[in-house]
Amino acid sequence: MDKIIEALNKGIENAGVERRKVCLVTDIAYSPDVVDFLGIDLFHTSRGRAIPYATGMKLANPKLLPVVLIGDIATLGGNHFVHSCRRNMDIVVICVNDFVYREVAGETAPGDFSPISFSPYLSFEKPLNIPHMARSCGCVNVSRWTALHTDELANSISQALHRKGLSLIDVISSAPDLLEFYYKNSELRNDEDTLNVEIEKDRKIVVGNFFNEEKPSFIEAYNEQHTKILGDNFVKIEVE
């Protein structure tokens, strides 16, 4: 987590945005002391609920720049993520992908994978292709890095803070020894079709900036639709 917080700090600095406008919303339980040095507001909410929390924050005060650190969008919070992408909400979602990938590029990850930890059969299901889900649901900015790609991650955060609509950054994160394993077994492929970035045991983890497009954000679409219906009687939501 510290590497991601460091990248977030650098990303905010590189973006040149006012820190008082940046709000960090997370469902990950850790001490607020971890992010004290960021100089931004931190909001902790229940597991899987960080995205709707950030959505309400953005709609209540459109001048804010909500950044979501969410631990799992594959199960808890997945529906919120899908609809937030569909609406193209103006938020940055950083998925702390700490699922344990036991085998990457044909190599077995270090560490103890005891078969009695959670299930006698371990996990046999294929992991969710988070970047592809994001793109197919309407996200306008999609990337993936390991937590050790600190500079690249910071640059993606910096760019996302200036984008209208929803940006998704999938960050492969785990214990330090596993991080080095994932970093070593990653492969940079910018602009790769998100269909091809699924994490599989017989190939390296594909990282990079995958997708960018411009389209109206939720607030822009909201203003346009209500202006058509109400005309001069409608007061537009002002973002800046």
**Using one digit for the tens of pLDDT, what is the confidence trace for 148-160?**
999 999 999 999 9
DSSP 40-105: SEEEE-STT-HHHHHHHHHHH-TT-EEEEEES-SSSTTHHHHHHHHHHT-S-EEEEEE----SEET
What's 2-215's CATH class? Answer: alpha beta
Name the pTM for this structure.
Answer: 0.90
Reported as type and span, the H/E element at residue 167 is strand 167-172
pLDDT in tens, 140-197: 999 999 999 999 999 999 999 999 999 999 999 887 778 899 999 999 999 999 999 9
Q: At residue 109, does pLDDT exceed 80?
A: no
pLDDT band at 118 (very low <50, low <70, confident <90, very high): very low
pLDDT band at 31 (very low <50, low <70, confident <90, very high): confident
Kindly list the domain boundaries of the chain, sorted by start residue.
2-215
